[in-house]
Structure 1
Amino acid sequence: MKHVELFSGIGGFRQALNLIQKDFDISFECVAFSEIEKNAITTYKANYDTADEIEMGDIVSFNSDEENIRNLHFDLLTGGFPCQPFSMMGEQKGFADTRGTMFFEIEKILRVKKEQGEQIPFVILENVKNLYTHDKGNTFSTIKKHLENLGYSFFSSIFNTENFALAQKRNRIIMFATTKDLPDDFEFSAEKIKQVFDAHIEEFQSIYKQKTTLDVLDKEVSEKYFLSERLKPTILSNGTAGFKSNSKINLLTARPLCATMHKMHRACQDNYFSQEFITSNDPFLYLQHEYTKEEEATHLIRKLTPEEAFNLQGFPKDFCKKSRELKISDSALYKQAGNAVSVNVIYAIIYYLFVNQKLGV
């Protein structure tokens, strides 16, 4: 099955497809990918062999010449199109934001291929949970309507990463569209796919299977990842009179990773861990610990490393290695991890669709 990965980032969809191929001998070939962020492209090309693939670059520029689209031949289109216009953390401008119009570039590719007589049978898209409710549901309804108007059956559900053997809580909407005939009882839901995933998890040899953050955290890391005495009071505080929060560290399930992890937010937003929790023979003594002012001064507390952040998204820790060799900074790697699609979620969906339900057969 030939695959085009749009808004690829570091290749979360591609990584999942590669692992499915390894575990179940199903052929997936990436023929083209698009990305505009140069550091993400560096990491992508450092970890995947893209020598014979079309590097689409800026999708708007690529699509401006429809002959570029007609020269693409593929069966599966995937993409985590920009989420900032719909995110609770942003201004929620939606389609009024240039990045929010990227869905229509996806639609253009699908329309041109249909007009060419090569309608793409499978589409899988990812975005933030808030897409469902943005603009009182109108944004989501528009996406659904446009895909249905192109002849697709459309499905969607909200998937939580922690339900698919990764130690991170992260809710994302996954949309699946297909032109294939489906069984009358076909169901595309996070609950159904988790049920299938859990039933077959012993067959999944290539994915990471984490029960807690302790499966990810390295016992020894560089000193630069530890909080300074100056930063500790701010990072661990519960806020001020105008902003109160419940800052806890040492969580067994990590908070959602964000693209701005390198900025080091308070411990109510980002993930921080004490060295006692990581190295203790009884780490449960330190669960969700709230340190007193006196304790802050005597305990070593650190943030995630980029390698650990990648791992919490389902990538191997050495995914960063080649990027580091190419002088990609920690801040860029944190951004890449925060923007990535969680590999295990996509793996579970691909398994359900193409192994369990045999839709590609």
Structure 2
Amino acid sequence: MNHVELFAGIGGFRRAMDLISHDLGFLIQTVAYSEIDKNAITSYNANYNTNGEVAMGNIVEFVKDARAMRALPPYDLLSGGFPCQTFSMMGSQEGFEEERGQMFFRIMDMINARHPRYVLLENVKNLMRHDGGNTIAVIRKELEDAGYIVKMDVFNSNNFGLPQKRNRAIIFARRRNLGNFEFNADLVRDAFAQINKDHCSLNFYDSTIDVLDREVEGKYYLSEKIKPTILSNGSAGFKSKSEIDQAVARPLTASMHKMHRACQDNYYSDLFILSHGVERPSERMTKEELARIPIRKLTPKEAFMLQGFPNNFANNAGRAKVANGAMYKQAGNAVSVNTIYAVLYYLITNRIIRE
């Protein structure tokens, strides 16, 4: 089965499909991908063999060329983690009114041009209730009008072997002529629980301690000057409980390199790491005492691993001259590999997706 990945980023959909192809013998071959961020493209090409594939570039420009769309190799599966900032609780929530919110309609341009059998999309949880539910209603209607049965639900990466509380909306659509089907997060989670981990290519982690390196470069440690700010519970206009050493990470953000407070991003003490998670100094120390011990941020390698990518992913990107700041952004924007694998596993083993 051929696959086209839109808004590819660093290839979260592709990675899951490569692994499921290996584990189930159900071949899903990526034949084309679109991405406009140069650093993400570099990371993508550094980690996948893209020889012979169509690099579609800017999807906005690509869909304007009907001949280019017709020239794509035949494909049955279209995926896309379309831009989410405009729907996010942390963003402006302008939705379809903002340029990035229009990217869903570029997906529809691709769908209406070729009508693939299957469509698999991902976005932030808030998409489901944005604009009082009107946004998701428009998405459903567009897909249904194009001839698809549409199912969707919210999936948490922490349910699929990744210690990260990352809730994302997953939309799966199948051409109506292929019949109805069942799809929701509970069904996928139940199927995933039956997987034999000894015969699965995914990485499974019970806690963040499983991905944290014991020794890292000094540049990842917080300075004495910034630690009080990172550890604070906020100011008069913004109060939130800042905690470090979380066994299940907070959702990775595209802007984590900007060093937000510990109520938003993930920070870890040497005491926690070196005790293999037994010591949690934040449970017995004041903020002032915490500010006097070594605390660090995630490395790009660890951020990628929390999204289900292999431990050499960051090294490959780094060798291709991708800077750490760009890698943090890529990890925060990525689709969680394990979540997509779980969805595919359910769909394939229940013959909802067929060769």
The two structures have a TM-score, normalised by structure 1, of 0.95
Q: 1:261 to 1:290 in 2, by over 3 A?
A: farther
Q: Which among 244, 251, 255 is matched to residue 260 of structure 1?
A: 255
1:326 aligns with 2:326: no
Give me the whole-angstrom Cα distance separating, in 1, the residues matched to 2:221 and 2:205. 24
Structure 2 partner of 1:106: 107
Q: How does 1:1-361 map to 2 (within 5 A)?
A: 1-72=1-72, 73-113=74-114, 119-179=115-175, 186-202=181-197, 204-280=199-275, 283-286=277-280, 289=283, 291-357=285-351, 359-361=353-355
DSSP 3-state at the match of 1:86: coil
Whole-angstrom distance in 2 between the partners of 1:9 and 1:163: 23
Report SS of the residue matched to 2:51.
coil
Q: How many residues align?
A: 354
1:235 match: secondary structure: helix
Deviation readout 1:222-256 (Å, 9 max, x if unpaired): 01111111111110111122221111111110000
Identical pairs, percent: 54
Query: Given the two structures, how large is their TM-score scaled by the length of structure 2?
Result: 0.96
Higher mean alpha-carbon deviation, 96-105 vs 350-359, is at 350-359
How far did residue 337 of structure 1 move? 0.1
What is the root-mean-square deviation in Å for CA atoms of aligned residues? 1.5
CA distance in 1, matches of 2:77, 2:284: 47
> Amino acid of the residue matched to residue 31 of structure 2?
V
User: Residue 353 of structure 2: SS of its match in structure 1?
Assistant: coil
Amino acid corresponding to residue 250 of structure 1 in structure 2:
D
Question: Which SS does the other structure have where 1:108 is aligned?
Answer: helix
State the SS of the aligned residue for 1:285.
coil
Any unmatched runs of 5+ in structure 2? none
Structure 2: which amino acid aligns with 1:21?
S
Cα distance change on mapping 1:148 and 1:287 into 2, 3 Å? farther
The CA deviation at 1:133 is: 1.0
Residue segments in structure 1 that go unaligned for 5+ positions in a row: 114-118
CA contact 1:39–1:328 (8 Å) conserved in 2: yes
Q: Displacement, 1:288?
A: 5.2
Moved more, 131-140 or 167-176: 131-140
Question: What's the offset of the Cα at 1:202?
Answer: 2.8
Q: Aligned letter for 1:310?
A: F
Quick check: 2:209–2:247 contact (8 Å CA) kept in 1?
A: yes
What SS is found at the alignment partner of 1:154?
Answer: strand
